[in-house]
Amino acid sequence: MPSLEHTCGCGGSRELSAPRLRGDTAERAGLDPGELRHLVQEVADLTTGEHPWAAGTVVVAGRGPVIAVEEAAGWAVRYARYDPETDAGVELPEQERVPMTVGTPFDLASLTKLFTSVAAVQQIERGTLGIDARVGAYLPEFRAATRHGITVRELLTHTSGLRPELPLYDCADDAERRAVLQAEAPIGVPGTYTYSDLNMLLLQYVLERVTGRTLDVLVHDGITRPLGMTSTDFGPCPGAAATEDQRRPWAKADRGMLRGVVHDENAWALGGVAGHAGLFSTARDLAVFCRTLLAGGSYGTARILGPDFVELLLTPPGLGFAVDQPWFMGELAGRGAAGHTGFTGTSLVLDPATDTFLVLLANTVHPVRRHPDSGPRAAAATRLAQAVRRVGPVPGTERIPR
């Protein structure tokens, strides 16, 4: 492999390039084609029936640098509105619906947290952010976090004790929202896991204070631009898959049918750029993100993290990433698989043990939010696990030496 020197988005350098993704056969990826056919059909079936799991889906799966599955099914826009009287969506005439394509962008919801986490670890790698530093060292005006000694690591591992969320969407303006966050104290025991959007919101403020740049700029300059993820950005995103007919009482705001603007009410109230939600992306771009982490932080001639810091990011319990969670990873869980889900129906899993990745994007909240069901995500991941045909690296995917 030729020797290259490249200055990456996070300020480091790399002497070797990492293979880029390419489409190819299941056999070339070291995956069983029969299992992948079942995977594609089962994901497509999720969009059918009177009450489908999702209006539409996109699935991308592969191993090493090979994308072996890239398929879309159903509709990016299917419903005009939700009818609470019948508890069903009011369908658009077929000629007014928008078919799902493999290039359809999605509201990523909580997958945004992964990008915030990578941005944080980039600053840790640079030495501008201490993983065990106290939030108060960077944000002394956040009085409650300062008083309780909340650390950066606790934010990244959801062990700060902060409650899951606050109704920031009901605040009058940004000043009031910031004041509420500054006064918010932990309600749980520090060190005990409690998943919280507030962790990533505080982390956003820390990153912006440390770098002097806004989160959207940090994500663009440090992650998406160097990786060529041209379809990934904070909204608005007019061509995205539709999400919810967002109205009270089932939602927290009265906004109507949403398409191309962030679904999460707090992220919307914060202007669409938030540490916990707000990004839009495509399945192909997310496959690049997965491949980069599986390759130790490099993609092509770009490097966004060094291998040691990718390891830090993905080592249990994970920094921002969930690790070995069968409820959405199925049989990929158990040996260090990492990933996340998003409330709108998005998910990704990357498995270093088998060098595989799975991106499943769906607009499950179109036309209305329902009780989350991650069974289909776990089933798809299990299909991919069963499709792994051989142990060890697929030819051409050897990891770059540290």
Tell me, what CATH number does 43's domain have?
A: 3.40.710
Prediction pTM value: 0.93
Q: Are strands 322-323 and 302-303 parallel, antiparallel or unpaired?
A: unpaired
| Cα–Cα separations (whole angstroms), residue 390 to 28, 63, 345, 381 | 12, 11, 31, 17
Do residues 88 and 231 both lie within one domain? yes
Q: Decide if pLDDT at 50 tops 90.
A: no
Do residues 282 and 193 both lie within one domain? no
Task: Evaluate whether 226 touches 8 at the Cβ level (below 8 Å).
Answer: yes
Query: Residue 376 carries which side chain, given as an amino acid letter?
Result: P
Q: Are strands 298-299 and 279-281 parallel, antiparallel or unpaired?
A: unpaired
- H/E element, 356: strand 356-362
Q: Are strands 338-341 and 347-351 parallel, antiparallel or unpaired?
A: antiparallel
Do residues 90 and 237 both lie within one domain? yes
Q: Decide if pLDDT at 380 tops 80.
A: yes
Q: Decide if pLDDT at 3 tops 80.
A: no
CATH of the domain at 180: 1.20.58.710
Token reading at 325: 């969670």
Q: Of 184, 212, 240, which residue sits at a domain end?
A: 212
Do residues 44 and 183 both lie within one domain? no
Q: Decide if pLDDT at 73 tops 90.
A: yes
- pLDDT tier for residue 291 given thresholds of 50, 70 and 90: very high
- pLDDT tier for residue 402 given thresholds of 50, 70 and 90: very low
pLDDT, tens digit, 9 for 90 and up, residues 208-259: 999 999 999 999 999 999 999 999 999 999 999 999 999 999 999 999 999 9
pLDDT, tens digit, 9 for 90 and up, residues 383-401: 999 999 643 445 444 443 3
User: Rounded to whole angstroms, how far apart are CA atoms 260 and 278?
Assistant: 10
Residue 143 lies in a domain: yes
pLDDT mean over 62-82: 98
Residue 398 lies in a domain: no
Token reading at 65: 């640098």
Q: Does residue 367 have a cis peptide bond before it, meaning omega lies within 30 degrees of 0?
A: yes
Residue closest to 161 by CA, chosen among 122, 133, 202: 202
Quote the domain boundaries for residue 249: 3-103+216-387
Q: Of 212, 233, 261, which residue sits at a domain end?
A: 212
Do residues 126 and 147 both lie within one domain? yes
336-361 burial: b if 16+ Cβ within 10 Å, else e:
bbbbbbbbbbbbbbbbbebbbbbbbb
Query: Residue 155 carries which side chain, given as an amino acid letter?
Result: L
Q: Decide if pLDDT at 112 tops 50.
A: yes
- pLDDT tier for residue 16 given thresholds of 50, 70 and 90: low
Q: Count of domains in the chain?
A: 2
- pLDDT tier for residue 190 given thresholds of 50, 70 and 90: confident
Q: Of 153, 182, 212, which residue sits at a domain end?
A: 212
Do residues 325 and 232 both lie within one domain? yes
Do residues 250 and 381 both lie within one domain? yes
